[in-house]
Amino acid sequence: MGSADLANLSDKLMLTTVVLYIVAMVSYAADLGFSRRGAASRAAGAGRKAEAKVLVGAAGAEKAETSGAAAGEDAEAGGRAVDWARLAVVLNVLGWAAHLGVIVTRGLAGERWPWGNMYEFLTAITFAAVTAFLIVLWRFQARFLGAFVSLAAVVGLGVANIWLYDSVGPVVPALNSYWIAIHVSAAIVATGAFTVGGASTILYLFKIRQEARSAAGGGGFLDRLPGSDVLDRLSVRVTMFAFPIWTAAIIMGAIWADEAWGRYWGWDPKEIWSFVTWVVYAAYLHARATAGWKGRKAAVLSLIGFAALLFNFFGVNYMFSGLHSYA
């Protein structure tokens, strides 16, 4: 198969990926908002010991507690209830596999690492975000994040295809280095994980607002989320995973800069905003560990870091000129 065929296959797989993510997103939303099984398990799980066995409390307890009450409900409904949760996860995994195919075939078509331009970089970041979510789903049963991470992936891939698409070709000379496989890969993984942490933080802010307004609920889909403390812990854990990888990306970027331009640090806009992002996330983790920051203040600080991360990707590449401007 030639380069043109591989590039064409990559584009077709991209369409398949987007469609699968959209259907998975709808299925996750249906599970979160309408699933009788999900509602029954959350009601039955309140206050039980099983809630403490997994990170995400009531959301994670679904798996162990639906076999009784929910199975009875499904039997009453004639056994025809749609298992939105299972459907969503299957579609998500299929979309992830197609997404991987997009990246691999793109790399084979160009005979290089497939993140040499903005289209490829955003495609890789969304893949990293979905991968991070699937790991969190497997480890913590955090299915409630599925609709939101899928939405972020669909939006990201939409932006990549509509505004950032670029044909397969050689990279600019500055990127023709083995460091692209190290430095850029680390930045991609960290950004994907930060995206999952950001989604959890946003849900946390909505949840604490709903809890403050009414202990009885009345918040629609918010009632079906786990408690705010669970969302908070999940956000912190994902951020703690991503932060050292982001740190390594900055350090490796400085080493690459010395090899490419003869200096480790030159206050290039990309370098500045990468450092700003690092400082904000470092302040967030430090405040939580030493000053006991929790709640809204810590969440807002985390979102400021995520906003700096997004600006580092979109704003810096299109609003500033510098050695890192490859848009």
At 55-93, the pLDDT tens digits run 544 444 444 444 443 444 443 444 556 789 999 999 999
Which pLDDT value is given to residue 2? 79
What does the CA dihedral 139, 91, 11, 124 come to, rounded to 10 degrees?
-10
Domain boundaries, the chain: 1-170, 172-327
Q: Is 51 a residue whose pLDDT tops 50? A: no
State the CB neighbour count (10 A cutoff) for residue 46: 10
Which pLDDT value is given to residue 322? 61
- Percent of all residues in the chain with a pLDDT value above 70, rounded to a whole number: 81
User: To which residue do tokens 């162990």 refer?
Assistant: 64
Are 123 and 157 in contact by the 8 Å Cβ rule? The answer is yes
Give the amino acid at 89: V
Are 256 and 179 in contact by the 8 Å Cβ rule? The answer is yes
Mean pLDDT of all residues belonging to the chain: 84
| Average pLDDT of the segment spanning 316-320 | 76
| Average pLDDT of the segment spanning 207-230 | 78
Q: pLDDT band for position 324 (50/70/90)?
A: low
Q: Higher model confidence: residue 294 or residue 279?
A: 279
User: To which residue do tokens 């806009």 refer?
Assistant: 269
Range in 2-11, 135-144, 290-299, 300-309 the model is least confident about = 290-299
Which pLDDT value is given to residue 75? 38
Which pLDDT value is given to residue 172? 78
Are 45 and 58 in contact by the 8 Å Cβ rule? The answer is yes
User: To which residue do tokens 């991968």 refer?
Assistant: 131
Which pLDDT value is given to residue 33? 83
Model confidence, pTM: 0.85
- Percent of all residues in the chain with a pLDDT value above 90, rounded to a whole number: 59
d(CA 50, CA 48): 5
Which pLDDT value is given to residue 165? 94
d(CA 170, CA 116): 8
Q: Is 300 a residue whose pLDDT tops 70? A: yes
Which pLDDT value is given to residue 63? 42
| Average pLDDT of the segment spanning 209-226 | 74
Which pLDDT value is given to residue 321? 66
- Residue 102: closest CA among 15, 29, 170, 180: 15
- Using one digit for the tens of pLDDT, what is the confidence trace for 152-197? 999 999 999 999 999 998 887 777 888 999 999 999 999 999 999 9
3-class secondary structure for the chain?
CCHHHHHHHHHHHHHHHHHHHHHHHHHHHHHHHCCHHHHHHHHHHCCCHHHHHCCCHHHHHHHHHCCCHHHHHHHHCCCCCCCHHHHHHHHHHHHHHHHHHHHHHHHHHHCCCCCCCHHHHHHHHHHHHHHHHHHHHHHHCCHHHHHHHHHHHHHHHHHHHHCCCCCCCCCCHHHCCHHHHCHHHHHHHHHHHHHHHHHHHHHHHHHHHHHHHCCCCCCHHHHHCCCHHHHHHHHHHHHHHHHHHHHHHHHHHHHHHHHHHCCCCCCCHHHHHHHHHHHHHHHHHHHHHHHCCCCHHHHHHHHHHHHHHHHHHHHHHHHCCCCCCCC
- Using one digit for the tens of pLDDT, what is the confidence trace for 100-155? 999 999 999 999 999 988 999 999 999 999 999 999 999 999 999 999 999 999 99
Which pLDDT value is given to residue 41? 42
